[in-house]
Amino acid sequence: MKLIIASNNNHKITEIKQILSPWFADVISMGDAGISLEVVEDGQTFVENSLKKAREVFDALGGIYAVLADDSGLSVDALSGAPGVYSARFAREHDDAANNEKLLSLMKDIPDGKRSAKFVCVVSLIRPDSEPLVVRGECHGVVARSLSGSRGFGYDPLFFVPELGKTFSQLSEGEKNAISHRGRALALLRDALERESE
């Protein structure tokens, strides 16, 4: 079955393709499927936004293809869970530099022992004649005091994983996929697909 990824984020699409391509004959982006759709992410939770994106793209494609959508973001304990569902537009819409600058500013007086954070990813898969599959993955770390690394996107340069001694931006794609919130959510989705096929 063909899988359409309900995203125009090339970094995200690459990650999903690497992890899920064995399960689908063809994995393509919304753009490759000829869909130009701006879904308004007005949900209060990652689950609401993820399901809304998947359903709207699924309907736009006539309900004949599998559609996968995710909603993800950074939840910082010292900021009561912010930026959360507003991660991509924390300072300015899809402006990674501005978002990271705002986060650093808000965290500048937070001591090292209280900089805990987690990346959260909720993935929704909608297919013809099947109930939606919804899974959640998390990765715990801390907010660094400065940007480090050149890979990844979003808050990756500030998300430090103590066990590895690196930020997400300093990890290889393979290292990141093995522990990331999206990698963990997609692994759970893969497990669910495996159970279905048994």
Output the pLDDT for position 166: 97
Q: DSSP character for 131?
A: P
Give all strands of the β-sheet with 66-76 in edge-to-edge order: 26-29, 2-5, 66-76, 116-126, 133-143, 159-161, 166-167
Sequence-ordered alpha helix ranges (H) in the chain = 10-20, 46-60, 96-107, 173-179, 181-197
Told to judge if 59 belongs to the known catalytic residues of this protein, a careful annotator would answer no
Which backbone phi and psi does 34 adopt, to 5 degrees?
80, 20
Q: What is the pLDDT of residues 46-59, one digit of tens each?
A: 999 999 999 999 99
Cα distances (angstroms) measured from residue 100 to each of 74, 90, 91: 11, 9, 8
Which strand (E) or helix (H) includes residue 33?
none
pLDDT in tens, 89-132: 999 878 999 999 999 999 999 999 999 999 999 999 999 988 99
**Closest to 133 in 3D by CA, of 191, 185, 192:** 192
Kindly name the residue from 42, 71, 95, 96 that is annotated as catalytic: 71
Which range is most confident: 91-95, 120-124, 181-185, 193-197?
120-124
Average pLDDT over residues 169-187: 90
Average pLDDT, the chain: 92
What's the domain count of the chain? Answer: 1
Domain housing 54: 2-197
- Please give the residue that has the higher pLDDT: either 98 or 38: 98
**pLDDT digits 0-9 by tens, 133-174:** 999 999 999 999 999 999 988 999 999 999 999 999 999 988
The pTM of this model reads: 0.89
The domain spanning residue 115 has which CATH number? 3.90.950.10
Query: CA gyration radius for the chain?
Result: 17
Q: What is the DSSP letter of 115?
A: -
Q: What is the pLDDT of residue 38?
A: 83
Distance separating alpha carbons of residues 182 and 81, to the nearest angstrom: 18
